[in-house]
Amino acid sequence: MVLNNRFGAFIDPELEVPGLARGKLNGLSFAVKDVFAVSGHRSSAGNPHWLRSHAPSSAHAAAVWTLLQSGASLRGAAHTDELMYSLGGENYHYGTPVNPRAEGRIPGGSSSGSAVAVASGSVDFALGTDTGGSIRVPSAYCGVYGFRPTHGAVEIGGVIPLAPGFDTVGWIADSAGILLRVGEVLLGRVEGGAGETQNSSEKSNSLQQSVERDGARVGQYPECGRVIYGGDGPERNGESAGGHVQGYTGGHVQGHARGREPGHPGEPVMQHPLLKAAAVPASYACDVPEGSRMAKLYIGMDGWALAGTDSSASLKQGLDLLQAGVGQVLEAKVSPEGLTSWMDVFRELQAAEIWATHGAWIEREQPVFGPDIAARFAWAASVAGQDHSWAQSQRDDITSRLRHLLGEDGCLVIPTVPGPAPLRGGDLRQLELNRSGAMMLNCIAGLAGLPQVTLPVAGPGGLPLGLSVIGGRGQDLRLLSWVRRLWQ
């Protein structure tokens, strides 16, 4: 039966592939962002010239095949932004999917159709990709759950790339339970070489070993925070613990001036007051099994400063719930250099990879892009071939610091986006400003290759917001299981 496409989620609502075996996902249906190979299907990557210049796929993408083998049925190819290079969801060629939970507002991108397919109830879950926020942002705007895994944790074979050093296969669902079930399939067993398999525990250990190797190059993470509660002696009623976490002793980045994308804003004004931890009954935390519990929760204060006052007040309720499942809560400044600086590092490295990936096709085929996408590709071309060693060095340092901070059982909580989804058809400059705010928040996990889950929260006027939890490298299933037990 053809899907009802009244919300415009699907570029191909007739695409159907039944499950190939019985498994953990029996009876569930899923959509795929139109960048995943499905045998016999021609992917558009959100652009009609890409559609015309590429042949149909001869086999399923690895993630699609794994889901079909687990009993899920594929129903529909979902819209995406052009070549995945946007966070808005407004496609110049194919239009804008309707956000079912925020009337008149954009759905977010680039996995716009995937989020709308789930939010509208058309499918149980949907596959997407996330490079700079393309799962997390539309999930937040559409009021659903979204997950970006540890970079490299899910096989990406058969997926049209954007920037391979940042690209991940992620998924969206309308419940934390389904989000976890899909994760158990895509993360639970990973194909190894020579026909061998690697289970999630072995995989986590392997990833953790690489973390330890990376972390050996740098010192302690600059936490710059204070204990809220937990550990030895702090009060559990929301008052300060009276002791400071080890502060940042390294130097700040000075005088870095590089090319910026069109519409790039200046340094944000961070005036949001410090959040205070709410009183949390100690018995609540006992409901979370020890193996799935987070030992430390860091409140990323510079991330929270990007959210408006009304949005922060709504998100705070979700934060209170998460605090119930940890032993210690701390405030931390995530980026001593400033999140604008981190975003610049991300954008520069991402753009260089994007042009390396798609530049030859663009120069050969001369495709037509929407104005905003065309401007981004032009900027990517302008930075290609430059010396990116400074930015790569910054990324390496950021990665090591964050991985050291979170370890195996720590998590960082920040807003997913600064506020509700912008109105459709808005001013391009305003949309760029909103995009930059979202990228400042989403570049944190992107730079360090960390898993991040976004949780739906009702914001001002009932508009959807997203609250994000970033976990340690390779701790994907721990994070999903922990969230599942707390977020009912």
Contacts of 7 (CB under 8 A, 6+ apart): 97, 98, 100, 116, 117, 119, 120, 122
Spatial distance between the Cα atoms of 156 and 63, rounded to a whole number of angstroms: 7
| Residue 298 · residue 412 · CB < 8 Å | yes
The span from the first CA to the last CA of the chain, in angstroms, equals 32
Spatial distance between the Cα atoms of 343 and 466, rounded to a whole number of angstroms: 19
Spatial distance between the Cα atoms of 86 and 372, rounded to a whole number of angstroms: 8
| Residue 132 · residue 439 · CB < 8 Å | yes
| Residue 226 · residue 245 · CB < 8 Å | yes
R_g of the chain, CA atoms, integer Å = 21
Whether the bond between 110 and the residue before it is cis, its omega within 30 degrees of 0, is yes
Structure tokens that stand for 162 in this block: 């954007």
Q: What is the DSSP letter of 16?
A: E
Helix (H, G, I), strand (E, B) or coil at 154: coil
| Residue 305 · residue 271 · CB < 8 Å | yes
Q: What is 82-139 written as a DSSP string?
A: GGG--SS--BTTTB----TTSTTB---SSSHHHHHHHHTTSSSEEEEEESSSTTHHHH
Q: What is the DSSP letter of 31?
A: E
Spatial distance between the Cα atoms of 383 and 353, rounded to a whole number of angstroms: 10
* CA-to-CA dists, residue 120 to 10, 184, 370, 413, angstroms: 12, 24, 26, 27
Structure tokens that stand for 97 in this block: 């999917």
Spatial distance between the Cα atoms of 416 and 325, rounded to a whole number of angstroms: 20
Spatial distance between the Cα atoms of 438 and 268, rounded to a whole number of angstroms: 12
Residues with catalytic function: 33, 110, 134
Structure tokens that stand for 195 in this block: 């026909």
